[in-house]
Amino acid sequence: MASTNRAVVFHNPQDMRVDTLDFPKLQMPNGKKAPHGVILRIVATNICGSDLHIWRGSFPVPEGMVMGHEMTGEVVEVGPDVEFLSEGDIVSVPFNVACGRCRNCRARRTDVCETTNPAVSCGAYGFNLGDWTGGQAEYLFVPYADFQLLRFPDRDQAMAKMRDLALLSDILPTAFHGLMEAGAKPGSTVYIAGAGPVGRCGAAAARLLGASCIIVGDYHQDRLELMRQNGCETIDLSQDVPLTDQIEAILGEPMVDCAVDYVGSEAHGIGRESQDMNPAYAINQVLDATRAGGATGIIGVYGPDPLAKSKAEQEGTFPIDFGKAWIKSPRIAAGQAPIMHYNRELMQAILWDRMPYLSDMLNTKIISLDEAPAAYGTFDTGVSDKFIIDPHGLIPA
């Protein structure tokens, strides 16, 4: 067993470093022993678009915090109260830290666990939500392991499909959740705001659901080309044409059945406003694009942002065009996804080859732990890659 743990650590905005830390213990952030936990050797740990909020300084975290919340690992140490997991199991770690015991967890609302963060009903790894250590590291402690961890049924099969299965910890179930909240179903027309990795997962999930026309809007041409190659219609948001006009040019009507905002508070405008950042742009775009009686999912991260222009936006108050949207009787759902609500079914879809296009749409790129700090800067330029960190060199080429 190793005695140390190398990890990607936040020092300042745009300053991530690989530091050597102590090997994790079966211990909660408050120091209490955790016999219900396990230690994982990390097989895959991804850089998420949400991590970029931290990298840029939009989401403040303490110096020295270990980054990462999208982890897949091998069980190497088992607490004495763990009954259903064994050393050697390959598992997916939902990014929501959830106890499995509170009212919300028992209702499968693991996104708002009431006990894993004393400040608010929401715990997450590597995101300053409950002091949970992140997983962009060689090893990770996971509490409440019997409840939280999704075990893959066959080790060899899991390793062979790791590029896809690594997406189960966050972005694929998160993308799917956005579509569920927006009411997507077979035959639906769907607008996806943002062709970053989670938006591309949304397009893949819309295909799995049988959506008819999947329209993806973005500014980056390589991302849009990747979507076109995988059967989606695209909208170049840098063009000075209203979004609804561009939708009408595709569908023959200026609206879709459902729309999902996968961008969040760092959204930009359309056309001449495409260089301007405004936290409310993406929300207002999806509200405008959704038909009367339709629904929208707000999956992008929103919250107080110290980099925003106005004092209100810095405090997390945004100018939503709700008065204009109200007459359409909209249904709006927002927040983090309860990963455990979807991850098992999506795992089965991957294992049984119902999403063979997933890796192509995500454009996954495997990197080492030492390459991770530089990959943050590359990712922030808008490249079409989804970076998966392989700390131990375990993922097949």
Q: What is the pLDDT of residues 107-156, one digit of tens each?
A: 999 999 999 999 999 999 999 999 999 999 999 999 999 999 999 999 99
Q: Which amino acid belongs to residue 61?
A: V
Confidence grade of residue 2 (pLDDT, cut at 50, 70, 90): confident
Give yes or no for a contact between 342 and 364, defined as CB atoms under 8 angstroms apart. no
Tell me the mean pLDDT in the region 45-55.
95
Ramachandran assignment for 64, one of left (phi > 0), alpha (psi -120 to 50 degrees), beta (any other): left
Cα 328 from Cα 92, distance rounded (Å): 40
Give yes or no for a contact between 130 and 115, defined as CB atoms under 8 angstroms apart. no
pLDDT at 309: 84
Provide CATH 3.90.180.10 ranges for the chain.
Answer: 4-170+339-389
Q: Tell which residue, 149, 148, 143, 147, has the closest CA to residue 34.
A: 143
Cα 208 from Cα 357, distance rounded (Å): 10
Q: Specify the residue for token string 């470093």.
A: 17
Provide CATH 3.40.50.720 ranges for the chain.
Answer: 173-334
| pLDDT for residue 1 is more than 80 | no
Cα 41 from Cα 393, distance rounded (Å): 12
Say which CATH superfamily domain 4-170+339-389 falls into: Medium-chain alcohol dehydrogenases, catalytic domain (3.90.180.10)
Letter string b/e over residues 84-93, b meaning 16 or more CB atoms within 10 A of that residue's CB: ebeeebbbbb
**Angle in degrees, CA 78, 83, 88, rounded to 5:** 45
pLDDT at 318: 86
Give yes or no for a contact between 338 and 110, defined as CB atoms under 8 angstroms apart. yes
pLDDT at 86: 98
Average pLDDT over the chain, rounded to an integer: 95
CATH code of the domain occupying 173-334: 3.40.50.720
